[in-house]
Amino acid sequence: MAQKIIFEEYFEEATLRFDYHHAGTDTTEVIYPEEYSKEKYWSGSKKHLISPFDYGKYKVVVKDAKTKTIIYSNGYSTLFMEWQTTPEAKKIRKSYYESVNVPFPKNKIILEINSIDKSQKWTNIYSEEIDPANYFIKNENAFTYKVEEIQVNNSPNKALDILFLPEGYTENEMDKFIADVTRLKSSLFKVKPFNEFKNSINIRAVLAPSKESGTDIPGEGIWKKTALNTNFYTFDSERYLTTKDIKSIKDIAGVSYYDQIYILVNTDKYGGGAIYNFYNLCTSDNEFTEEVFSHEFGHGLAWLADEYYYDDDMSSFYDTTLEPREENITTLVNFDKKWKNKLPKKLEFPTKASPKNLTKIGVYEGGGYTSKGVYRAFQECKMKSNSTKEYCEVCEETIVKVLEYYSE
Ligand SMILES: [Zn+2]
């Protein structure tokens, strides 16, 4: 058992933000530090300082410099790691801006970043001793934007704090932004398990206008001057909406408490994206906006895998000789860690997708982009398709665990 870490012994209620460049190729990665800054708020749990979850490709670990005790850890993923899977990464080197938050230390710490590789082996890729008294730790407020409290039900340390950032909303469209956030809030609380955790979820919105309305659509030659520099066509996939401008995101988000950043992009085009403990994005006015909103949040909040698949395969994404680390898919390599104990005694294997089995837990082949060798627990789930209004039981339970972690 890990020893209990008392927040007040090691940290003050503020954030140490570490900005860095993550560079490399498909098989190499290096971290180049950019800067440290002190931010006003700490919204994470003060009880669970060491993450109980084995989620995300990276892990930030904080150790007390004197005793080497681990006093904080958290998992996350990044856009850089997705770029590493593209053909381009085999040919050229690229650098992505990234940033992690940890509680602000009272004494010297060692900050480490660890990365897990395809064979599921962890490697330390960065380590630095940081003295909180170092006067080069930036301590300035980049922005003074107004923060609108959409719903604040609990103290930030005992709630999941979702912060909405507007993208491509002009000064004159701030009322529309608030109306859009309010609509998405209502849609979130129609979905299990979020409806059961209403009192442990805070929702705020930063009124940070853009010069122009909309977002970049490179494939159509459309470019807009916006606050967070989002674009469609990420890795040349039209509907994949992301941004590399992490600095702007973090500078704006720093005016508020937040555990999860949700970027709402002012367009009716279909698309979105989310990266675990990094950011979530969806568009405001598409007919599937509400569905995309909760699907993407499954990735960003709980590291759920996509349960959809293509018949023409992408079988290289998950190595079927290893158990995927996401909770909602399995290769059966270590099925004991997944939903095996929930299965009925007599089970058709693999379970046939049929109207008769529509609500039955099983082992359905297809998931994680591939139709062979990767299995999911239910025929339908929000992580599989936009036409489904609910998360499957496995996804729902994963989200419950994450919501409990934030709310204690
Ligand atoms: Zn699911």
**Distance between Cα 391 and ligand 1 center (Å):** 5
Enter the DSSP assignment of 4: P
pLDDT at 87: 94
Question: How far apart are alpha carbons 94 and 108 in whole angstroms?
Answer: 32
**Distance between Cα 140 and ligand 1 center (Å):** 42
Burial class of 38 by CB neighbour count within 10 A (0 to 12, 13 to 18, 19+): middle
What's the pLDDT tens digit per position in 31-80?
999 999 999 999 999 999 999 999 999 999 999 999 999 999 999 999 99
286 in any annotated domain? yes
pLDDT at 17: 98
Indicate whether 187 and 235 sit together in one domain: yes
**Distance between Cα 207 and ligand 1 center (Å):** 34
**Number of structural domains in the chain:** 3
**Distance between Cα 361 and ligand 1 center (Å):** 11
Indicate whether 170 and 201 sit together in one domain: yes
With a pLDDT cut of 70, the percent of the chain lying above it is 98
**Distance between Cα 137 and ligand 1 center (Å):** 42
Q: Is the pLDDT of residue 1 over 80?
A: no
Contact (CB, 8 A) for 328 and 307: yes
Question: How far apart are alpha carbons 191 and 108 in whole angstroms?
Answer: 43
Indicate whether 266 and 284 sit together in one domain: yes
**Distance between Cα 198 and ligand 1 center (Å):** 21
Burial class of 222 by CB neighbour count within 10 A (0 to 12, 13 to 18, 19+): middle
- Beta bridge partners, 49, equal none
Question: How far apart are alpha carbons 75 and 287 in whole angstroms?
Answer: 33
**Distance between Cα 353 and ligand 1 center (Å):** 15
390 in any annotated domain? no
**Distance between Cα 383 and ligand 1 center (Å):** 5
**Distance between Cα 390 and ligand 1 center (Å):** 9
Over the range 385-403, which residues count as b (16 or more CB within 10 Å of their CB) and which as e? Answer: eeebeebbbbbbbbbbebb
Indicate whether 253 and 332 sit together in one domain: no
Question: How far apart are alpha carbons 82 and 276 in whole angstroms?
Answer: 12
Which amino acid, 217?
Answer: I
The first and second tokens of residue 145, run together, are 């934007």
pLDDT at 258: 98
Question: How far apart are alpha carbons 242 and 221 in whole angstroms?
Answer: 17
pLDDT at 314: 61
**Distance between Cα 96 and ligand 1 center (Å):** 30
Q: Is the pLDDT of residue 115 over 70?
A: yes
Indicate whether 340 and 198 sit together in one domain: no
**Distance between Cα 149 and ligand 1 center (Å):** 31
Indicate whether 351 and 280 sit together in one domain: no
Q: Give the CATH number of the domain where residue 251 resides.
A: 3.40.390.10
**Distance between Cα 87 and ligand 1 center (Å):** 29
With a pLDDT cut of 90, the percent of the chain lying above it is 94
**Distance between Cα 396 and ligand 1 center (Å):** 7
Domain housing 74: 7-130
What's the pLDDT tens digit per position in 78-102?
999 999 999 999 999 999 999 999 9
Question: How far apart are alpha carbons 86 and 291 in whole angstroms?
Answer: 27
Which amino acid, 270?
Answer: Y
**Distance between Cα 297 and ligand 1 center (Å):** 13
Question: How far apart are alpha carbons 228 and 216 in whole angstroms?
Answer: 11
Indicate whether 155 and 208 sit together in one domain: yes
Among 262, 286, 303, identify where a domain stops: 303
Residue 197 CB neighbours (<10 A):
21
312 in any annotated domain? yes
Indicate whether 37 and 101 sit together in one domain: yes
**Distance between Cα 295 and ligand 1 center (Å):** 10
Q: Residue 17's Cα: distance from chain center in Å?
A: 17
Indicate whether 203 and 297 sit together in one domain: yes
**Distance between Cα 293 and ligand 1 center (Å):** 15
Indicate whether 279 and 230 sit together in one domain: yes
CA distances for 160 relative to 19, 105, 155, 163, angstroms: 23, 22, 9, 10
What's the pLDDT tens digit per position in 272-290?
999 999 999 999 999 999 9
What's the pLDDT tens digit per position in 305-339?
999 998 876 667 899 999 999 999 999 999 999 99
Q: Is the pLDDT of residue 119 over 60?
A: yes
Residue in 346, 325, 341 with CA at minimum distance from that of residue 377: 341
Q: Give the CATH number of the domain where residue 122 resides.
A: 2.60.40.3250
**Distance between Cα 197 and ligand 1 center (Å):** 19
2 in any annotated domain? no
Among 288, 303, 318, identify where a domain stops: 303
**Which residue has tokens 């890795």?**
235
pLDDT at 3: 64
**Distance between Cα 146 and ligand 1 center (Å):** 37
**Distance between Cα 339 and ligand 1 center (Å):** 11
Q: Cis omega (within 30 of 0) on the bond before 350? A: yes
Angle at CA of residue 202, ends 35 and 395, nearest 5°: 90
393 in any annotated domain? no
Indicate whether 182 and 122 sit together in one domain: no
Greater model confidence, 141 or 210: 210
Indicate whether 12 and 32 sit together in one domain: yes
Q: Residue 312's Cα: distance from chain center in Å?
A: 28
Residue 319 CB neighbours (<10 A):
15
pLDDT at 240: 97
Q: Is the pLDDT of residue 206 over 80?
A: yes
Q: Give the helix/strand (H/E) hosting 74.
A: strand 70-76
